[in-house]
Amino acid sequence: MKEVEQYRFRIYTIMAVMCAAGLVLIGQLVRWQIIEHARFKALANEEHHDELVIPARRGEIRDRNGHLLAVDVIEYNISVSPQIISDPYATADRLSRLLNRPRDELLQYLTHEELWVPIAFAVPQSVGETIIDWDIVGLQAEPQAKRVYPESEMGAHLLGFVNGNGRGFYGVEGYYQNMLSGKPGLQTGERSPFGEMIPLGISHYVPPVSGTTLYLTIDRSLQFLVERELERAVREYRAQGGSVVILQPQTGAVLAMASYPTYDPNDYGSSDERLYFDPAVSEQYEPGSVLKIITMAAGLDAGVVTPDTTVFDSGAIEFGGRVFYNWDRQGHGTVDMVTVLAQSLNVGIAQVATLLGKDRFYTYMRRFGFGRLTEVDLASEGPGTLKTPKDANWHESDLGANSFGQGIAVTPIQIGVAVGAIANDGLLMKPYVVDRVVDGQREIQVKPVVVRRTVSQETAATLTNMLVAALEQIDSEAMVPGYKVAGKTGTAEIPVPGGYHPTLTLASFVGYLPADDPQVLVLIIIDRPMTSRWGSKTAAPTFQRIAEQLVVLLDIPPDNVRLAQGQGAN
């Protein structure tokens, strides 16, 4: 009897366990098929469906004549899934011949224990497409875009670069990142057990939208000329660097812009990161005597001086307890305004600022755009610094210092645009580097923008004649045979703790020609030249070398020919 009870107990125990297991199984089936049906269905779809983001082709950058400056090329990364390669030996043979690499090395990759092994990176497009055509299961060729700059270092600061993630930095690449990058596409579909898309499976495809193509205002020939002459000047005058800005005064278009030293955007990672910033739009400096053009423009426009107005130059002048001197520490006696510009007299131009008074002086400084962005379409522009009487740190002595370009920080593009307003009958133009935008079949032409009037047309014409006369008076090395040039040198001392460096300077010259019908404005900055500290001996002759070639490239006839043609037309 006892044995029968034990037998029954065992049966009941087994039945209980089986019932419990059945209940658990039924519970799991209810959970899988009813309660969490949606979640598991989504997991199954995710397992069998693939989503591929298709990168967009980045827009090209071309010069004004269509010459290619930046373009995407396709390269491929080659990898393998060794576990599903059916014939590693034959595959190694084919790859060895195609990649020009040892067969044994490739065979190790193809027979590796890892699930996925990279073989080669950034191989040419033809190689990648050949591997795709082989259609070997487990051997992948993944395309990737690489930004290429065919002109290497030329225009590097202006263009900027694109990093490995497709993000543009600095210059045009950074400023127009959203337009150039385009919109990525998307492909979804069913995936095979090998992880590859099933060609005839259910799929959805959204094509990528290529980026916009930009045509710049830059002329490749002018850019090449400017960079060559700038490098020559930096080396000849044993300077630390330099910048050149060339503008079309009537429109604000940047025809060329360069800084030296520079870098190769094709290999930006091997360069000093400090070279990435474009000094022509980012670096702030004290402009020195080139700012006397603006002070004189304000004085003429306000009616406090005329070209024939004379002042007595004793060689020194005091503002707010601070004494300022001429560059030569000499007094020049009674001088007119043309001589003030010709001899670059600090004392004379400071007296113009005195006649203007602080309120009118700084009103004109603001009109010419100092202390604010020019809004040029380049990344990382600096605003400069202009203290005014409304600022707590402004001092009465700042009026004297600012009148001849000390105690004020500007960028080269600001100076170029400000003086360009004088060349353009007093109208300040917004500078720009993109001439037209091509988006598919649509082309948009960028139109010049007038920011504001700085001085009257009569003032601009009078000052232009004064600048011409000033250069002729001193027989400047900036003058171009056959053309009247309006311009001014600058020799700016470099601020250091406690004052200014005793010998180092920023030498500059800004000028435009032909003076009676300005077609081009050129700003030259030579950073800390060692052969001579003066702009008249470094920047001025550099201007002359560049300008005499510019008139040929831009087909600007000499004054006598141009005027004779004009009379003939009349």
Rg (CA), the chain: 35
The secondary structure of residue 139, as a DSSP letter, is: E
Residue 64 has pLDDT above 70, yes or no: yes
Average pLDDT over residues 388-402: 94
Q: How far apart are CA 80 and CA 83, in angstroms?
A: 9
Tokens found for residue 75: 């390269």
Tokens found for residue 364: 């004109």
Q: What is the pLDDT of residues 145-175, one digit of tens each?
A: 889 999 999 999 999 999 988 899 999 999 9
> At the fourth CATH level, which superfamily is domain 52-216?
Penicillin-binding protein 2a (Domain 2) (3.90.1310.10)
Selected residue with higher pLDDT from 487 and 22: 487
Cβ 302 vs Cβ 414: under 8 Å? no
- Residue 563, number of CB atoms within 10 A of its CB: 14
Average pLDDT over residues 10-26: 77
List the one residue out of 246, 247, 244, 248 whose CA is nearest residue 227. Answer: 244
Element (H, E) at 43: helix 37-48
pTM of the model: 0.84
Q: What is the pLDDT of residues 177-187, one digit of tens each?
A: 999 998 877 76
Q: How far apart are CA 452 and CA 454, in angstroms?
A: 6
Average pLDDT over residues 312-325: 94
What are the DSSP E strand ranges found in 386-429? Answer: 427-429
Residue 569 has pLDDT above 60, yes or no: no
Which residues, 6+ apart, have CB-to-CB distance to 187 below 8 Å? 51, 52, 54, 197, 203, 204, 205, 206
pLDDT at 499: 83
Give the residue extent of every domain in the chain. Answer: 2-51, 52-216, 220-569
- pLDDT confidence tier of residue 74, bands split at 50, 70 and 90: confident
pLDDT at 203: 57
The pLDDT mean for the chain works out to 90
Residue 570 has pLDDT above 60, yes or no: no
pLDDT at 190: 59
Q: What is the pLDDT of residues 528-568, one digit of tens each?
A: 999 999 999 999 999 999 999 999 999 999 999 888 876 65
Cα 18 to its chain centre, rounded Å, is 76
Tokens found for residue 291: 């700012």
Selected residue with higher pLDDT from 47 and 299: 299
* Distance from the first to the final alpha carbon of the chain: 139
Q: How far apart are CA 184 and CA 51, in angstroms?
A: 13
Residue 438 has pLDDT above 80, yes or no: yes
Question: For strand 333-336 and strand 161-162, is the pairing parallel, antiparallel, or unpaired?
Answer: unpaired
Half-sphere exposure of 88 (CA within 13 A, CB side): 17
List the one residue out of 404, 399, 380 whose CA is nearest residue 389. Answer: 399
Q: How far apart are CA 143 and CA 128, in angstroms?
A: 8
Average pLDDT over residues 228-237: 97
Residue 401 has pLDDT above 90, yes or no: yes
List the one residue out of 450, 423, 446, 431 whose CA is nearest residue 510. Answer: 423
pLDDT at 456: 98
pLDDT at 199: 52
Q: How far apart are CA 371 and CA 384, in angstroms?
A: 5
Q: pLDDT > 70: what percent of the chain?
A: 91
Q: How far apart are CA 129 and CA 127, in angstroms?
A: 6
Residue 192 has pLDDT above 70, yes or no: no
Q: Where on the phi/psi map is residue 169: left (φ > 0), alpha (ψ -120 to 50), or beta? A: beta
Residue 8 has pLDDT above 70, yes or no: yes
φ and ψ of 5, to 5 deg: -65, -40
pLDDT at 115: 82
pLDDT at 236: 97
Average pLDDT over residues 402-424: 96
Question: What does CATH list as the number for 220-569?
Answer: 3.40.710.10
Distances in Å between the Cα of 72 and the Cα atoms of 123, 144, 264, 371, 395 are: 14, 10, 16, 38, 53
User: 3-class SS at 333?
Assistant: strand
Average pLDDT over residues 339-344: 97
The secondary structure of residue 173, as a DSSP letter, is: H
Average pLDDT over residues 266-275: 92
- pLDDT confidence tier of residue 2, bands split at 50, 70 and 90: low
Cβ 486 vs Cβ 470: under 8 Å? no
